[in-house]
Amino acid sequence: MSAATTRTEGLHVAVLNGGSSLEREVSLASGSRVTTALESKGHRVTRLDVDAGLVTHLDDLDVDVAFLALHGSTGEDGTIQSLLDLVGIPHTGPNGLSSALAWDKPVAQGLYRRAGLVVPDHVVLSQAAFRDLGAAAAVSRVGDLLGFPLVVKPAAGGSSLGLTIVGDPAHLPSAIMGAFSYNDRVLIEQFVPGPEVAVTLVDGGTLPPVEISPRDGPYDFSARYTPGATEFHAPSRLSDAANAAAEDAARRACDALGAHHIARVDMILADNETPTILEVDTGPGLTATSLVPLAAQAAGLAFPDLCHRLVELALARAGRDEPAA
Amino acid sequence: MRLDTDPYLQHYADRVGGLSASAIRALFAVASRPEVVSFAGGMPDTSALDFDAVTEVVARVLAEDGPTALQYGIGQGRPELREQLVGVMAHEGVPAHLDDLVVTAGGQQGLELTAKCFINPGDIVLAEGPTYVGGLGALTSHRADVRHVPMDADGMQVEVLAERLQELARDGRRPKFVYTIPNHHNPAGVSLSVPRRHRMVELAEEHDLVILEDNPYGLIDFAGETRVSLRELAPERVVYVSTMSKTFAPGVRTGWIAAPAPIRDKIILLREAADLCPAHFTQMVVERWLATQPWQAQVERFRATYQHRAEVMLDALATHMPPGVTWNAPGGGLFVWVSVGDGIDTSDLLAKAVQHRVAYVPGDGFYADGSGRSHLRLNFSYPPPERIREGIERLAALITDERELARAVYGDDVPAAGDVDAARPSGSDSSTPRTTGRIDMPAVVAREASS
């Protein structure tokens, strides 16, 4: 494996996408766009739907670098990053440890808070707490503590899968059940009113904050992936100070995780000014309706150039022999 | 600056507004992976076809009539094929003349053309609850107001239909048509009893209604029985739709409509606007298949295969499912309709199911109003027996565990099966409005789990 190469043109890139995660379809859409983009930059691209034969495939193909277009578990939780480190293939995106930390939303929120950032007040409940410790008797206290409405979501995972906004106590248990379909733990957050903004970090810099305004209802799966269902503004229509605060908060959140190369930081600007961090996505979507490509567009950064830059960064990290995690 | 992910938004027709991405469809992308046992599709077992015979048929069509086979045809479809299809209908005891028929691209195009022919936005259609998801798609794409009539072991409850018609009549309204799948219903797996067929036709006379009779599964009856068709009872009131997808192969996309002459003529014009004519090549393949091959024997082979698989599935369900889960024992068709009982939302559970390598279709897909969330549909025609056993075992373990979790989360307030529909707040993943409509599915034929 040519880990120490400085050559960044005409590479053999494996675009990893698909797999068995719940976000398979989104990942295939990302992978398709990335493949076209990298080919337009002159790279030889092999697109792989990841499965149990992945390591053998990669060995046979002798690729220079792996581009991660995987979303969901395995792709974003540090698993694939650690595996690629083991077999000596440089990969795009943050390293395994940063990915694993970001993937665990409750742990990550603790880190953001430690770094002095604001996160929504929240409670984490595991299936074990209900099965073995009688947590049901305490559920009513969640509302007492945080107030309604509440945001109920799986403690890990993306694309708003399993997310419910709960307006009253009667609907809280079913929302918890729904989120448990995606993960063993649920994160129950205070609903923070205010505009939702996503800030993309690339190579240490920030792209313009993207303001997210679904035309109807919450920014759920349908609002994310139906073209036209959500209106985006980049930079956001907020004040310059608010945009600057959002970018600063995004940088600090990524620093708290040690997440470099690329990440997307989702936040609410409470009262139009205070960034409240919801989560950091270390394997952000790259589909036609995804936020990172929109931010790049607003910055005048062509999508193929963005993909190529991520490949360069992956090779540079490998060349420096940075510890994998 | 404003970034448009769909710059055409202002240009679309109103009917496109409701078409959006869905988390459930995204989960089906995982269900198609080979490691997942999928009971989700409705696919026939095309590997049960005699491929030497199919190859021979296709080769002869090209060798003997190649230039014709690859040419345009007429909108109504080839008379030679229509004559053969009349024979297929006769095999099931359904009367027709070849002039009554319009060949379509599968039964689905028949449903869509019928919807296009009759539905203005907001028009009411009464349909079984649950009903075929593709039929719902055809109706709602023309913005029909689909209202469900509950079912039991004998199919649509026609006395409830009578009440609904009365209520509408009192408001000076009348449904555009009644949509029914009388034989081996998809997804409910039951058939409309003969007395109810007579009653439905009586109601159609009384209220001057058209009936859309969707019959893909009539010949897939495990006992080899057939029932009198609505078309036979009221040929002037019925638009009859059928298909070769279950008796030959869905890949040839050959179905047909049999309708009264005025409706037939409108349908032909609509179809010519849509796609000019049915594919000539596959029409000739189907025509030759029916004319030269023992197609009835092939149907028998499908029946025997599906009957065996249904038995395997029912045995596995009885062995593994926890108490409180019920299902019907289908006498034909491709599906088992399952009620998972209290406290479980099958739409939510699908995410967990695909992670446990098993998939199904959640019940709410078969309702226009978002109900059905305590039901799911299982297909038995496609997975081989050993995969059926494996998949049901996984699903049963999952439901058992989910039941325990529901008890732990809800405490003493586990929502009753019908109330699961109402338990989810708006603003959850699906934007479908919820109703509390409790669905009493075939309780009479439902078999309680043995353990």
Amino acid at residue number A179: A
The torsion defined by the Cα of A257, A258, A259 and A260, in degrees rounded to 10, comes to: 160
Strand ranges (E), B105-222: 124-129, 145-152, 155-156, 177-180, 210-214
The answer to whether A222 faces chain B, any CB pair under 8 Å, is yes
Task: Please give the Cα distance from A323 to B23 (Å, whole number).
Answer: 37
Asked if A162 and B348 come within 8 Å (Cβ–Cβ), the reply is yes
Asked if A175 and B425 come within 8 Å (Cβ–Cβ), the reply is yes
Asked if B428 and A181 come within 8 Å (Cβ–Cβ), the reply is no
Task: Please give the Cα distance from A290 to A295 (Å, whole number).
Answer: 9
The answer to whether B359 faces chain A, any CB pair under 8 Å, is no
Evaluate if residue A4 carries a pLDDT over 70: no
For residue B430, the chain A residues in CB contact (below 8 A) are 222
Find, among B200, B213, B191, the residue nearest to B257 by Cα.
B213
Q: Is the peptide bond before A149 cis (omega within 30 degrees of 0)?
A: yes
Find the mean pLDDT for residues A121-137. Answer: 95
pTM of this structure: 0.89
B152: which 2 tokens? 């039991």
Q: How far B352 CA sits from the closest chain A CA (Å)? A: 5
Task: Please give the Cα distance from B350 to B47 (Å, whole number).
Answer: 28
- What is the chain A residue with the closest CA to B32? A20
The answer to whether A259 faces chain B, any CB pair under 8 Å, is no
Enumerate residues 5 to 64 of chain A having a beta carbon within 8 A of any beta carbon in chain B.
20-26, 28, 51
Asked if B427 and A228 come within 8 Å (Cβ–Cβ), the reply is no
Find, among A101, A174, A233, A1, the residue nearest to B373 by Cα.
A174
B197: which 2 tokens? 């067929």
In this structure, is the dihedral angle defined by the CA atoms of residues B63, B67, B68 and B71, taken in order, positive or negative? Answer: positive
CA dist A28 → A11, B30, B147, B336, B382 (Å): 22, 11, 37, 32, 26
Strand ranges (E), B363-431: 375-379
Evaluate if residue A74 carries a pLDDT over 80: yes
Helix (H) or strand (E) holding A208: none
Q: Where are the alpha helices (DSSP H) in B119-243?
A: 133-140, 158-170, 194-207, 230-233
Enumerate residues 320 to 349 of chain B having a beta carbon within 8 A of any beta carbon in chain A.
343, 345, 348-349
Q: Tens digits of per-residue pLDDT, A222-273?
A: 888 888 889 999 999 999 999 999 999 999 999 999 999 999 999 999 988 8
Range B262-267, long-range pairs (CB < 8 A, 24+ positions): B263/B117, B263/B210, B263/B239, B264/B100, B264/B101, B264/B102, B266/B117, B267/B102, B267/B113, B267/B114, B267/B117
Q: Where are the alpha helices (DSSP H) in A197-275?
A: 221-225, 240-257
Asked if B5 and A232 come within 8 Å (Cβ–Cβ), the reply is yes
Q: pLDDT in tens for each of the 451 residues of chain B?
A: 888 888 888 888 888 876 777 787 888 888 888 899 999 989 999 999 999 999 999 999 999 999 999 999 999 999 999 999 999 999 999 999 999 999 999 999 999 999 999 999 999 999 999 999 999 999 999 999 999 999 999 999 999 999 999 999 999 999 999 999 999 999 999 999 999 999 999 999 999 999 999 999 999 999 999 999 999 999 999 999 999 999 999 999 999 999 999 999 999 999 999 999 999 999 999 999 999 999 999 999 999 999 999 999 999 999 999 999 999 999 999 999 999 988 899 999 999 999 999 999 999 999 999 899 999 999 999 999 999 999 999 999 999 999 999 999 998 788 876 555 444 433 333 333 322 233 344 433 344 433 3
Q: Tens digits of per-residue pLDDT, A139-160?
A: 999 999 999 999 999 999 878 8
The answer to whether B2 faces chain A, any CB pair under 8 Å, is yes
B340: which 2 tokens? 């998972």
Asked if B405 and A166 come within 8 Å (Cβ–Cβ), the reply is no
Q: What is the largest distance, in Å, between two alpha-carbon atoms of chain B?
A: 72
Q: Which of B429, B430, B432, B434 to mutate to test the interface with A (most CBs of A within 10 A)?
A: B429
Q: What is the pLDDT of residue B160?
A: 97
Q: Which of A25, A141, A172 to mutate to test the interface with B (most CBs of B within 10 A)?
A: A25
Q: What is the pLDDT of residue A218?
A: 82
Task: Please give the Cα distance from A181 to A153 (Å, whole number).
Answer: 10
The answer to whether B352 faces chain A, any CB pair under 8 Å, is yes
Task: Please give the Cα distance from B329 to B326 (Å, whole number).
Answer: 10
The answer to whether A201 faces chain B, any CB pair under 8 Å, is no
Q: What is the pLDDT of residue B15?
A: 83
Characterize the bridge pairing of strands A210-214 and A196-202: antiparallel
For chain B, domains (ranges, CATH) are 3-48+298-408 (3.90.1150.10), 69-292 (3.40.640.10)
For residue B432, the chain A residues in CB contact (below 8 A) are none
For residue A288, the chain B residues in CB contact (below 8 A) are 5
Strand ranges (E), A24-131: 44-49, 65-68, 122-126
Coil, strand or helix: which one is B325? coil
- What's the DSSP call for residue A207? P
A56: which 2 tokens? 């053998």
Band of pLDDT at residue A323, cut at 50, 70 and 90: low
Q: How far B372 CA sits from the closest chain A CA (Å)? A: 16
CA dist A26 → A16, A22, A72, B311, B416 (Å): 13, 9, 9, 37, 35
Find, among A108, A84, A217, A228, the residue nearest to A158 by Cα.
A108
Evaluate if residue A6 carries a pLDDT over 70: no
- β-pair partners for A123: A188
Q: Is the peptide bond before A235 cis (omega within 30 degrees of 0)?
A: yes
The answer to whether A307 faces chain B, any CB pair under 8 Å, is no
CA B9 centroid distance within chain: 32
Asked if A165 and B431 come within 8 Å (Cβ–Cβ), the reply is no
Task: Please give the Cα distance from A148 to A142 (Å, whole number).
Answer: 9
Find, among B176, B148, B172, the residue nearest to B160 by Cα.
B148
Place of tokens 């109504």: B76
Asked if A176 and B409 come within 8 Å (Cβ–Cβ), the reply is yes
Q: What is the pLDDT of residue A203?
A: 93
Asked if B33 and A20 come within 8 Å (Cβ–Cβ), the reply is yes
The answer to whether A77 faces chain B, any CB pair under 8 Å, is no
Evaluate if residue A38 carries a pLDDT over 70: yes
Q: Tens digits of per-residue pLDDT, A84-98?
A: 999 999 999 999 999
